[in-house]
A and B are shown apart, each in its own frame.
Chain A
Amino acid sequence: MNVTNFPLRCWTIISTVLSIGLLFFLLGFVFLKAQGVITLNFILAKPAGFPVGSAGGIWPAIAGSLLVTLIASLFASILAFFSAVYMVFYCRDARIHLILNLIIQCIAGIPSIVLGLFGYAFLVIKLKLGLSILASGLTLAIMIFPFIQIRLQKLFQETSKQLLEASASLGINQAYTIFNLLLPMYRKQFLSIVTLASGFAMGAAAPVMLTGCMMNAPVPKSLASPFMSLPYHLYVLIGQGISLENAYGTAFVLMTLILFLNLLAAIPTILRMRGKP
């Protein structure tokens, strides 16, 4: 049997090394290309020069990205939490369950540019939100909603039945059990899922470029303001040939932020592995 096992083992090892190597190569590559422009000024200054972006920094894009991600995560997690609760604890009909699951998976499959178009047509025009950080945040929320919902649903489904019955046996209703037993119990995992999803939202350009993102805008002052975002800024810098160097700088900052979010999301897992609660 060793004869047939050997190539498989080799291939699994090669695949693993390749995928890890790819991440480091990508990070290293972008860092090498960007190291000339990454300065405190680049991070904290407004874009400048003509065409705009050829000089100055990317602070409004960093702030815009963080804010739009926050809005998206907030809306998506509230929606995802309640729909996961409904699916696991309230929905008794297997057919409805199946249909809802199918719909959520379909949402997960919508191309992000189509979401952008929907956001533009429905949120910006029809609901008159205008090109704004709110419209972009809501569009991104639709994009990451299934990501959070599916994971939360799985988490809830794995809750020990006995724990729920123990709570019910004390005469306690489901709503109290959900908010006072499950939510505190899953707080860390919930935050970790949302953090991971927010990294996903932060990197998306298509949903925001039609709904509120600008080539040049100040840090948004209200939910109705247009804004700048890192992925869109990157797209413009390259697409219009403004500054390849600054594009790499922007890419590096974006990657670092997302990497940081992913690491943050991994903290509960790491702590668990080390045997801490």
Chain B
Amino acid sequence: MKDHLILKDLSVALGDAEILRKVNLAISRYKILAVIGPSGCGKTTLLRTINRLIEEEKQARVSGEILFKGKSIHQIPLAKLRKDIGLVFQQPTPFPMSIYDNLAYALKYHGVRGKDNLDKIIEAKLKLCGLYEEVKDHLTMSALKLSGGQQQRLSIARSLCVEPEVLLMDEPCSSLDIHNTKIIEDLIVKLSEQYTIVIVTHNLQQARRIADYTAFFLEGKLMEMNNTEAFFANPQEEETKQYLQGLFG
């Protein structure tokens, strides 16, 4: 099946506030979808709804349907769903433990046993995220001592450890400098060979540089979605044009 994730008439409200309104979109396997839009347009809520984190909020009401590989996400056990659909946050979220333990934490939970197995997976994921050479001699060091960019790569590596199929990323570069942003962007492009990626970003150029598809959200509605090149070259909606020209946002 080509479409990895399908959203059908997805609406989300938090209390009285409607955050997402009847969103319909399909996300293809091994592609990068960039979600752009002004603050408060529901980008982050979209990601949190896909891995059902939104349901932890007391006032959240979700209607519509999300299909993951053709199956409603509510038919998939929650732990399995979140294992298959990873989420990387805006701020790096290293756990206050060693670099090694950060990565072993979820692996042990999901039943990976034996130091050799753990070592193998951890090394592979650190290498994939380009962090291995930098930290291989300091695996027992506290992850909190890493730089911001390293912490974010560690957070990504940690999400990858549990072998997700989809990776949701919520402005993963917004707290990083240009150099680290470049590293993470290259990493995202590399990861899209093995994972489907949905990235929320404030940075239009970033969407342009890395995404296969771009979706523009405004006030909870999906205004427009197209392949990135066409999206930026020839936006269809008036609002999209204005946003891309920097008239609001």
Q: Which of B60-68, B85-93, B174-182, B207-215 contacts A (4 or more CB under 8 A)?
A: B85-93
Which A residues are CB-close (under 8 A) to B110? 171
In the complex, residue of chain A having the shortest beta-carbon distance to the beta carbon of B78: A171
A-B contacts, CB under 8 A, total: 66
Q: B142 contacts A163, CB within 8 Å? A: no
Given A171-B83, A181-B105: A92 touches B58 (CB 8 Å cut-off): yes
Given A172-B106, A185-B96, A277-B142: A166 touches B80 (CB 8 Å cut-off): no
Report B221 CB to chain A, min CB distance, Å.
26
**B109 on the interface (CB 8 Å rule)?**
yes
Q: Which of B6-14, B25-33, B155-163, B197-205 contacts A (4 or more CB under 8 A)?
A: B155-163
Interface majority SS on A: helix, strand, loop or mixed? helix
**B82 on the interface (CB 8 Å rule)?**
yes
Report A68 CB to chain B, min CB distance, Å.
35
- Give residues 218-277 of A contacting B (CB, 8 Å): 277
Report B247 CB to chain A, min CB distance, Å.
33
Interface majority SS on B: helix, strand, loop or mixed? helix
Which A residues are CB-close (under 8 A) to B53? 165, 168-169
Which B residues are CB-close (under 8 A) to A92? 58
Contact mask for chain A residues 169-196; partner B; CB cutoff 8 A; 1 contact, 0 none? 1111100100011001100000000000
Q: B93 contacts A166, CB within 8 Å? A: yes
Given A176-B109, A180-B105, A277-B142: A169 touches B91 (CB 8 Å cut-off): no
State in angstroms the CA–CA spacing of A33 and B105 once bound together: 56
- Give residues 93-111 of B contacting A (CB, 8 Å): 93, 95-97, 105-106, 108-110
Q: B109 contacts A172, CB within 8 Å? A: yes
State in angstroms the CA–CA spacing of A184 and B80 once bound together: 25
In the complex, residue of chain B having the shortest beta-carbon distance to the beta carbon of A165: B53
State in angstroms the CA–CA spacing of A216 and B86 once bound together: 65
State in angstroms the CA–CA spacing of A172 and B81 once bound together: 11
State in angstroms the CA–CA spacing of A180 and B53 once bound together: 20
In the complex, residue of chain B having the shortest beta-carbon distance to the beta carbon of A160: B93
**B51 on the interface (CB 8 Å rule)?**
yes
Which B residues are CB-close (under 8 A) to A170? 82-83, 86, 105-106, 109, 158-159, 162
**B233 on the interface (CB 8 Å rule)?**
no
State in angstroms the CA–CA spacing of A169 and B79 once bound together: 9
In the complex, residue of chain B having the shortest beta-carbon distance to the beta carbon of A185: B96
Given A165-B53, A277-B142: A172 touches B79 (CB 8 Å cut-off): yes
Which B residues are CB-close (under 8 A) to A185? 95-97
Q: B56 contacts A168, CB within 8 Å? A: yes
Q: B79 contacts A166, CB within 8 Å? A: no
State in angstroms the CA–CA spacing of A176 and B79 once bound together: 12
Contact mask for chain B residues 211-244; partner A; CB cutoff 8 A; 1 contact, 0 none? 0000000000000000000000000000000000
Q: How many residues of B contact A (CB 8 A)?
A: 30
Given A92-B58, A176-B109, A277-B142: A169 touches B51 (CB 8 Å cut-off): yes
In the complex, residue of chain B having the shortest beta-carbon distance to the beta carbon of A169: B87
State which of B58, B82, B97, B142 has its C-beta within 8 Å of the C-beta of A168.
B82
State in angstroms the CA–CA spacing of A163 and B84 once bound together: 19
State in angstroms the CA–CA spacing of A180 and B110 once bound together: 13
Q: A166 contacts B155, CB within 8 Å? A: yes
State in angstroms the CA–CA spacing of A176 and B83 once bound together: 15
Q: B86 contacts A169, CB within 8 Å? A: yes
State in angstroms the CA–CA spacing of A171 and B79 once bound together: 4
Report A236 CB to chain B, min CB distance, Å.
48
In the complex, residue of chain A having the shortest beta-carbon distance to the beta carbon of B85: A169
Which A residues are CB-close (under 8 A) to B79? 171-173
- Of the A-B pairs whose beta carbons lie under 8 Å apart in the complex, a sample of 12, sorted by A's number, is A162-B91, A166-B95, A167-B105, A169-B86, A170-B83, A171-B82, A171-B83, A172-B82, A180-B105, A180-B109, A181-B97, A181-B105
Sort A-B residue pairs by CB-CB distance and give the 9 closest, nearest first: A171-B83, A166-B93, A171-B82, A170-B106, A169-B87, A171-B79, A172-B109, A185-B96, A176-B109
Where the two chains meet, the residues of B that have a C-beta atom closer than 8 Å to any C-beta of A are 51, 53, 56, 58, 78-84, 86-87, 89, 91, 93, 95-97, 105-106, 108-110, 142, 144, 155, 158-159, 162
